[in-house]
Amino acid sequence: MEERKLLHSFLAASQKGLPPRRMKDSYIEVLLPLGSQPELREKYLTVQNTVRFGRILEDLDSLGVLICYMHNKIHSAKMSPLSIVTALVDRIDMCKKSLSPEQDIKFSGHVSWVGKTSMEVKMHMFQLHDNEFSPVLDATFVMVARDSENKGPAFVNPLTLESPEEEEIFRQGELNKGTRVAFSSMSLLKMAPTAEERTAIHEMFLNTLDPKTVSFRSRVLPPNAVWMENSKLKSLDICHPQERNIFNRIFGGFLMRKAYELGWATACNFGGSRPFIVAVDDIMFQKPVEVGSLLFLSSQVCFTQGNYIQVRVHSEVASLQDKEHMTTNVFHFTFMSEKEVPLVFPRTYGESMLYLDGQRHFSSMSAPVTLKKDHLIEP
């Protein structure tokens, strides 16, 4: 960190002082040689002989940071004056391709949109299948630039567009930003549910009234249903130095892996069969996690439909000295179970808001996918 203080002189006073970069300047391809280097396989292997998706999340996070450093590279500096951190995992969508621990995986990506201090990164993942790389997933991350000591915002290089295809990619980045702002403004923490949502919650409440007593105090579950409060799992991790980044904070990919694996276990426990990841949505990194913190993860099924399970994982930390808990992340995962799962019913108003939030995240999927068992990915 003492070395990084000396890099302040390389920071731009405004974005106009930075040279524009092309999308191809930040384009990277990285090979994960699971097939050609079997010694790597152990780290990525599940007991079901599939690939651990939590490890893939770690790799995507690292790749997104690397891509942004490529976009903002200063050739005259030995070290970048920028601190690039993950602000948001906007979306990860799975494709209908199998993922084997015995075939090489390829990642690619580039900066797709740029603001003044933030960048959107598009990444793709492929796996070797019949001597060619087939798509596995598409990911969109939002990264932010901070100064060399990670204390305040810093400007990033503007993006120059060279083709109609690149203009469309950039336009989609603008739309993504607008969608995020609109989704945030409609948050149930800021605005009441819509009339349609209120009606749905009221109908669920009426469906749980005991027909014998017809009393508000007597609640009975309909057939094939579970109270939301009974779908929780929790975990605790001590954040050791092994998981730190160069800024002495806990690596965001580690947090995502831990949250995903707890979410997977929650979906497995709830559905009674192995779940498979379909989408990751809207992971906001609200606060950094310090080394030595106690990491509390709380996972809960908040919405179900057919074979789909929407899981919300809440992350908070407390220091060893201070017992006050602070929220750092909220994760949203969409899983598909091998068989149809029970309906989940809220009992309180707070749980009803979680239910509606889960329903909104589930509905934000491009389209519900139909994936076969051998085309899916486990933790």
Please answer whether residues 228 and 343 qualify as being in contact, where contact means their C-beta atoms are separated by less than 8 angstroms.
no
The fold adopted by the segment(s) 1-186 is Thiol Ester Dehydrase; Chain A (3.10.129)
Tell me: pLDDT of 46 over 80: yes
State the CATH class of domain 195-364: alpha beta
| 345-375 per-position pLDDT tens digit | 999 999 999 999 999 999 887 554 444 444 4
| 335-344 per-position pLDDT tens digit | 999 899 999 9
In the three-class reduction of DSSP (H, G, I as helix; E, B as strand; rest coil), residue 375 is classed as helix
DSSP string, 58-110: HHHHHHHHHHHHHHT--TT-SS-S-EEEEEEEEEEEE-S----TTS-EEEEEE
In the three-class reduction of DSSP (H, G, I as helix; E, B as strand; rest coil), residue 2 is classed as helix
| 212-233 per-position pLDDT tens digit | 776 667 788 889 999 999 999 9
Domain span(s) for CATH 3.10.129.10 in the chain: 1-186, 195-364
| 198-210 per-position pLDDT tens digit | 999 999 998 888 7
The average pLDDT across 130-150 equals 89
